[in-house]
Amino acid sequence: MEIMHKASSSLSCKISFFPSPDNIDSPRTLATPFRHSSASSNSQLLQLQLNRSKNHRPALSPLRCTASDSVKRQEMAGKDGQDPRIQKISSAIRVIPDFPKPGIMFQDITTLLLDTKAFRDTIDLFVERYKDKNISVVAGIEARGFIFGPPIALAIGAKFVPMRKPNKLPGEVISEEYSLEYGTDKMEMHVGAVEAGERALIIDDLIATGGTLCAAIRLLERVGVHVVECACVIELPELKGRDRLGDKPLFVLVDGA
């Protein structure tokens, strides 16, 4: 399956929120080449992992605007009208087969972090979408949500709230249990980190089944926070995580396969 690209639907500007360093254009390539899986091996491997329903979901719609979006669409270059930055971001993500176990095609964002321009573009795409939405909280899910969340929070003037595995946060916490493929896990948030009525964004690198994001939504809603949107770099659409978020919109940059 090809990696599909999703356009950002509410770009208003392309100004980078980080100053341009001198070495912005010098390429930094990972010594180990990227591996892109072929369509046929992909579908075989995915069969092992997915609970496919017989009724396929209709083709994915482009990224949704929230009802409150009133931002002008900028004229975008590129064949599909998608933001030209997406291509570079997508190709900077490395797919590692059979990690952490056979059959799983792991979407590795660490190679994106080695590409200074692509990493900055990733953050910019999120910041452009959220900066005028009165968001006061960016919640990032341990651990890769800690990489993308803080730069976004800093740029939009929001606080950053880490959502952690059990027993990592000191002091008083609230917990939310969630299902794994086998068994359950728990996510924790500090008591008092957020206040009722705040508007929040939840960030993680990837959405698969949506279980973790769901737990994060519940934690925030339990303390009276309004979750405006969930944002991820990558979505695995076959795992239907988007549907599990209920009425919460999901914004992603790239489809993984």
Partner 1 sequence: MSAYRDEDPRIQGIKTKIRVVPNFPKPGIMFQDITTLLLDPKAFKDTIDLFVERYKGKNISVVAGIEARGFIFGPPIALAIGAKFVPLRKPRKLPGEVISEEYILEYGRDCLEMHVGAVEPGERALVVDDLIATGGTLCAAMNLLERVGAEVIECACLIELPELQGRGRLNGKPLYVLVEYQ
Residue of 144, 164, 188, 238 with catalytic role = 144
* CA distance to 21, 38, 257, per residue, from 217 (Å): 36, 35, 25
Q: DSSP H helical segments within the chain, as ranges? A: 39-49, 84-91, 110-113, 116-130, 145-156, 211-222, 241-244
**Of the candidates 85, 134, 96, 56, the residue with the CA atom closest to the CA atom of residue 233:** 85
Residue 154 interacting with partner 1 (CB under 8 A): yes
Give the footprint of partner 1 on residues 32-71 (CB under 8 A). 32
Q: For residue 153, state whether it binds partner 1 (rule: CB under 8 A).
A: yes
164, amino acid identity: R
Q: Residues touching partner 1: how many (CB under 8 A)? A: 49
Pairing, β 184-190 against β 173-179: antiparallel
| Dihedral of the alpha carbons of 75, 252, 163, 66, in degrees to the nearest 10 | 60
181 is catalytic: yes
- Kindly tell me which of 146 and 178 has the beta carbon lying closer to partner 1: 146
Least distance (Å) between residue 18 CB and partner 1: 5
Site for partner 1 contains 191 (CB under 8 A):
no
Binding flag, residue 27, partner 1 (CB under 8 A)? no
H-helix or E-strand spanning residue 129? helix 116-130
Q: Is 238 a catalytic residue?
A: no
Which residues make up the interface to partner 1 (CB under 8 A)? Answer: 18-24, 28, 30-32, 94, 96, 99-100, 106, 108, 110, 113-116, 119-120, 123, 142-144, 146-148, 150-151, 153-154, 157-162, 164, 167-171, 190, 193
Catalytic residues: 144, 181
